[in-house]
Amino acid sequence: MERKRIAIVGVGLIGGSLAIRLHEKKISSRLIGVDVNEQHLEKALELELVDEVLPMNEAIANADVVVLAIPVDKLVLLLPSIMDKIDRQIVIDLGSTKAQLINSIKDHPKRGRYVATHPMWGTEYSGPQAAVRGAYENKAVIICNPQDSDKDALEWTKAMYKKIGMHLLEMEGNAHDLHAAYVSHISHITSFALANTVLEKEKEEQAIFEMASAGFESTVRLAKSNPAMWVPIFMQNKENVLDVLTEHIAQLTKFKESIEKGDGRLLQQLIEEANQIRRIIR
C-alpha cells in the first residue's frame, strides 16, 4: 500500500501505540504528532513515536491522513473544524462511541473524506509512555457507516488496519454503540464499581495487596482506566449504557436473592447459565 504522511492527533496510549505499528509496518513516510499536552509531545518525540510535532493547522496541511485519537467529547467538538480545514486528506477517528460523532458531520460537504472506526484494543494505562509494541494485533476494528466514505479513503483505511494485523467488521453507528455498551462499556463500569466496593469495605490496603487473587486483579484491572476517557464515553452512550446497567443490576439482584434465601439450586442455575459464555469466548 502507498506510504503516507500521517498526523496523529492525541499521542497517548491509543495514538502512540498506533504510531509504533505504522512505523513497524512501513505504512507512514512521516509521522506528525499533535497534542494539547506539551509533556505528551516531548515524551512522544523522546520515545520516537513520531518524527516531528506541529500545531494542528500545520499538521493537517502537511499530512495525507489525519488520525484522531482523543477522548470522544473532544472528538465531537473537533471533527467538524478539521473537516473544514482538509482538502483531500483522509480523516480517521479511533473513538469508542460513534453515533453522535457521525451525526456531527453528516451534512458536511467533505463527509466522504472521513472514515469512522473503533479499534477494539486498549489497556488501563494512559499517556505516550504507555504505548505498546504489537498493539492491535489479532483484534477487531469496527468500521461504521462505510457507505458514507469515499472509496479511496475507505480502501486505504481498511488496508492500513489489515496490515497492522486487525480483522475488520462493518456496522451502522447506532448498532455499534449498542453492542459496545454490552461488550465493552459495562465491563468498565463493573470494574469501577467493584474497586469502589472493595475500597469502601476493606480499609486495610495491605490486606487487599496481599490477598488479591488473579481473579480479582483481572476483574478490577479496568478500574485503573483514565476517567478523562471514560466519563465522555458513558455520557455519549447514555441510553445504551443505562439499558445494560439496568440488566446488570437485575442479574446481581438474582444472585443476592438466591444467597439471601439460601437457595443453592437457583444459585447453581445462575452460574450454569453464565457458563454458557464458554460457547462464545474460550
- For residue 157, the enclosing domain spans 4-171
Mean pLDDT of the chain: 96
Q: What is the pTM of this model?
A: 0.92
> Helices (DSSP H) in 86-211: which residue ranges?
99-104, 151-163, 173-180, 186-201, 205-211
Q: List Cα–Cα distances, 217 to 45, 185, 191, 226, in angstroms.
A: 33, 18, 10, 17
Contacts of 190 (CB under 8 A, 6+ apart): 219, 248
Q: Are 59 and 86 contacting, i.e. CB atoms less than 8 angstroms apart?
A: no
Distance, C-alpha 65 to centroid of its chain: 19
- Residues 153 and 209 placed together within one structural domain of the fold: no
- Residues 196 and 154 placed together within one structural domain of the fold: no
Buried b / exposed e along 100-117 (16+ C-beta atoms within 10 A): bbbebbeeeebbebbbbb
Cα dihedral 220, 221, 227, 231 sign: negative
Q: List Cα–Cα distances, 89 to 4, 74, 102, 195, 256, in angstroms.
A: 10, 20, 17, 43, 54
- Residues 202 and 272 placed together within one structural domain of the fold: yes
Given this model, what pLDDT does residue 219 score? 85
Model confidence pLDDT, tens digit, residues 36-92: 999 999 999 999 999 999 999 999 999 999 999 999 999 999 999 999 999 999 999
| DSSP 8-state secondary structure symbol assigned to residue 113 | G
- Residues 272 and 191 placed together within one structural domain of the fold: yes
End of a domain among 171, 187, 208? 171
- Residues 104 and 137 placed together within one structural domain of the fold: yes
- Residues 255 and 275 placed together within one structural domain of the fold: yes
The tens place of each residue's pLDDT in the chain, 282 residues long, gives 889 999 999 999 999 999 999 999 999 999 999 999 999 999 999 999 999 999 999 999 999 999 999 999 999 999 999 999 999 999 999 999 999 999 999 999 999 999 999 999 999 999 999 999 999 999 999 999 999 999 999 999 999 999 999 999 999 999 999 999 999 999 999 999 999 999 998 888 888 878 877 788 888 999 999 999 999 999 999 999 999 999 999 999 999 999 999 999 999 999 999 999 999 987
- Residues 164 and 195 placed together within one structural domain of the fold: no
- Residues 12 and 146 placed together within one structural domain of the fold: yes
- Residues 159 and 35 placed together within one structural domain of the fold: yes
Report how far residue 46's alpha carbon sits from residue 115's, in angstroms, rounded to the nearest whole number: 30
Domain containing residue 66: CATH number: 3.40.50.720
Q: Are 92 and 31 contacting, i.e. CB atoms less than 8 angstroms apart?
A: no
> Helices (DSSP H) in 86-150: which residue ranges?
99-104
End of a domain among 155, 171, 187? 171
Domain containing residue 236: CATH number: 1.10.3660.10
- Provide the terminal-to-terminal Cα distance of the chain, rounded to the nearest Å: 34
3-state secondary structure of 107: coil
Model confidence pLDDT, tens digit, residues 203-216: 888 888 788 777 88
What are the backbone dihedrals phi and psi of residue 167, each rounded to the nearest 5 degrees, phi first? -105, 145
- Residues 42 and 107 placed together within one structural domain of the fold: yes
- Residues 126 and 202 placed together within one structural domain of the fold: no
Domain count for the chain = 2
Residue for grid cell 480499609:
203
Q: List Cα–Cα distances, 120 to 66, 109, 142, 161, in angstroms.
A: 19, 29, 8, 12
End of a domain among 119, 152, 171? 171
- Residues 19 and 94 placed together within one structural domain of the fold: yes
Contacts of 83 (CB under 8 A, 6+ apart): 91, 105, 108, 110, 111, 113, 114
